[in-house]
């Protein structure tokens, strides 16, 4: 860690400095959102074709946004779900923290320590060349990890507690990958909302 300013912790991923903002939303908003999310969003479990087999992805997800924030996925034009009411007051606060105008959010629900997301970068062409990504974590604390693109060595592990926002700056996605590994620890439900701007 490089330095801490009030609730902000900056991490050195040369030449980038992602930041984790603790207590990012007003506490009652974050706590109420955590309680509301299971019912408020149209969650589904995707199926992925991996190594010649169909498997359920190890988490629940849903994608929401402005009606024109669509993207192409395996030749399909995907239109986001309309913004859930519970997220409407959250979006301007996240925009303000990240100094961005996000128009969509990928929501992930990790039900226990066996739910996870493997190594990737958020580099879909629809996000433009150097997207800024803001990710809000709610519920159980989990560890988020980075490695340099093209290397298998783990570079940095960052704990993401309830009501924290991680901001990944411009350029980071092309030089680093990230993952949310499984854990054997007894772990409760965690939600992660990754705010993005789809270029129109
Ligand atoms: O759950 C997380 O913290 C990571 C989610 C993520 O990387 C993504 O949605 O692209
Ligand atoms: Fe990601």
pLDDT in tens, 149-170: 999 999 999 999 999 999 999 9
For ligand 1, whether the C-beta of 173 sits within 6 Å is no
120 within a domain of the structure (yes/no):
yes
CA distances from 66 to 69, 79, 117, 135, 172 (A): 5, 9, 25, 18, 25
119 within a domain of the structure (yes/no):
yes
For ligand 1, whether the C-beta of 105 sits within 6 Å is no
- Of the listed ligands, the closest to the CA of 172 is 2
ipTM above 0.85, yes or no: yes
The least confident of 69-83, 106-120, 132-146 is 69-83
Residue-level length of the chain: 200
Query: In sequence order, what are the residues at sequence separation of 6 or more whose Cβ sits closer than 8 angstroms to the Cβ of residue 151?
Result: none
124 within a domain of the structure (yes/no):
yes
What residue owns the CA closest to ligand 1's atom 10? 122
For ligand 1, whether the C-beta of 138 sits within 6 Å is no
3-state SS class at 92 = helix
Burial annotation 102-119 (CB, 10 A radius, 16+ → b, else e): bbbbbbbbbbebebbbee
Q: How far apart are CA 162 and CA 112, in angstroms?
A: 15
153 within a domain of the structure (yes/no):
no
CATH, residue 31: 2.60.120.590
pTM here is: 0.94
For ligand 1, whether the C-beta of 178 sits within 6 Å is yes
180 within a domain of the structure (yes/no):
no
Domain count for the chain, please give it.
1
The pLDDT value recorded for residue 127 is: 82
179 within a domain of the structure (yes/no):
no
């Amino acid at each position: 860690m490089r330095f801490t300013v009030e609730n902000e912790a900056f991490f050195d991923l040369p030449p980038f400095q992602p930041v984790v903002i603790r207590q990012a939303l007003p506490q009652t908003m974050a706590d109420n959102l955590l309680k509301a999310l299971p019912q408020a969003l149209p969650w589904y479990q995707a199926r992925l074709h991996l190594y010649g087999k169909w498997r359920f992805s190890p988490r629940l997800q849903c994608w929401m946004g402005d009606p024109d924030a669509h993207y192409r996925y395996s030749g399909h034009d995907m239109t986001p779900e309309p913004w859930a009411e519970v997220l409407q007051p959250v979006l301007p606060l996240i925009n303000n923290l990240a100094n961005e105008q996000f128009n969509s959010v990928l929501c992930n629900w990790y039900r226990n320590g066996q739910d996870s997301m493997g190594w990737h970068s958020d580099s879909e062409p629809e996000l433009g060349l150097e997207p800024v990504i803001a990710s809000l974590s709610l519920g159980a604390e989990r560890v988020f990890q980075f490695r340099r693109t093209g290397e298998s060595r783990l570079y940095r592990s960052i704990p993401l507690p309830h009501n924290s926002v991680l901001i990944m700056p411009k350029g980071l996605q092309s030089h680093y990958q990230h993952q949310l590994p499984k854990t054997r620890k007894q772990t409760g439900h965690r939600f992660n909302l990754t705010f993005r701007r789809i270029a129109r």
